[in-house]
Amino acid sequence: MELSVMLSMLGSSLVFTFFIFFITLVGSLPLGVLIALARMSRLRVLSSIAKIYISFMRGTPLMLQLMFFMFAPYYIFDIPIDVNWKYWACSIGFILNYAAYFAEIYRSGIQSIPVGQYEAASVLGYSKSQTFMKIILPQVIKRILPAMGNEIITLIKDTSLAFVLGIAEMFTVAKQIANSQVTLLPYIIAAAVYWVICLIIEYGLNKTEKKLDYYHD
């Protein structure tokens, strides 16, 4: 197989890698906020449910969760699995899994803000929404950015787990080419692409972190 053909196949499969990556972020980032708020709720039932959810999603393998969402409709509800269901199962699995991790990061960031800042803002006449948006949120973003960056970089690599559902993302295609051509080159190229993507994300996160340097602890 010519190198140009190999690169073309890997490039086409990269679309699915980015699809999983972006759909997970779009779904899990806001969902993580809701779960974090539920986890910090004074309602014991709501807090307990969120705590159990986080514990379960972080305590079981993502691959197992993907398989569950893939086959649960058929085995539990006897619903025929559509050919496109694997994309939905993949999206649901990734979003629910990463939302649990993001929720704990959000919670740690919010709880790290001293209570005195809320009290000072109240004395100055700030409403609760103004206090959160103008004082608390910028500090929380700065504090959680390194941890969020780690999870986002991990997500890029975890997209390779979609192979268990038969989704032709980059790792799956690299594996197929390597097996058919008996060569390690597809793996080397795929590794280089993953690395470059991670470097780009790191660069973006570092730039963002520098812009937030004026929020000193």
Q: Considering the chain, what is the average pLDDT of its residues?
A: 90
DSSP letter for each residue of 196-217: HHHHHHHHHHHHHHHHTTTS--
Place of tokens 């000072």: 120
Is this prediction's pTM over 0.75? Answer: yes
Proportion of the chain above pLDDT 90, given as a percent? 65
Q: Which residues contact 215 (CB under 8 A, 6 or more apart)?
A: 138, 139, 142
Q: With 90 as the cut, is the pLDDT of residue 140 above it? A: no
Rounded to 5°, the CA angle 190-28-42 comes to 150
As to burial, measured by CB atoms within 10 angstroms (0-12 exposed, 13-18 middle, 19+ buried), residue 155 is buried
Helix, strand or coil, per DSSP, at residue 121 = helix
Q: Note whether 10 and 186 are within 8 A (CB).
A: yes
Q: Which residues contact 18 (CB under 8 A, 6 or more apart)?
A: none
pLDDT confidence band for 162 (50 / 70 / 90): very high
